[in-house]
Amino acid sequence: MNANASHGILASASDEIKKLVDERDKLQKDVVTVFIDVANSLDAGPFTQDTTVSDVQKQYPAIKKIAQNKLKDYESEVKDAEKSREDFILQKQKELDQVSLDIERAKYVKQSQLSDAITKVLMYIGIFL
């Protein structure tokens, strides 16, 4: 009976080991697929579905460096875009301030002209009477 139990435990352990190996193989294929996608996004190498995990491990430092440089470039572009946006907003604010000032001047001129016109009309009416 002891031999039967150990044989059952051995068979169960063998099944678990086979399952773990299968899961490891699937995981390695997934890692390779993700790495290929990242490398293709970075235009960093001709990798195919035949690429192995060891190939990935060999190329990882280079791809990591390329990715870091790409991120730095993106950060720089974002900073430049933000600066450009701020400059544009500042310019438009100055233009808005100038237009507001021009409107206020036009209102003043309009009031002055209206006041002058009323004064002249009243003066002509006064002279005429």
3-state secondary structure 29-63: HHHHHHHHHHHHHCCCCCCCCCCCHHHHHHHHHHH
Mean pLDDT of 28-50: 76
Would you say 53 and 29 are in contact if contact means Cβ atoms under 8 Å apart?
no
Number of neighbours of residue 102 by Cβ within 10 angstroms: 10
Domain ranges of the chain: 2-128
* Residue 45 backbone class (left: φ over 0; alpha: ψ -120 to 50; beta: rest): left
Of the two residues 46 and 114, the one the predictor is more confident about is 114
pLDDT in tens, 84-105: 999 999 999 999 999 999 999 9
For the chain, give the number of residues.
129
Distance CA 49, CA 31 (A): 11
Of the ranges 12-16, 37-41, 76-80, 118-122, the best mean pLDDT one: 76-80
- How far, in Å, are 27, 57, 69 from residue 48 at the CA level? 17, 15, 23
Mean pLDDT of the chain: 83
Return the pLDDT at 1: 45
pLDDT tens, residue by residue, 49-68 = 777 777 777 877 888 888 88
pTM value > 0.85: no
Is the pLDDT at 3 greater than 90? The verdict is: no
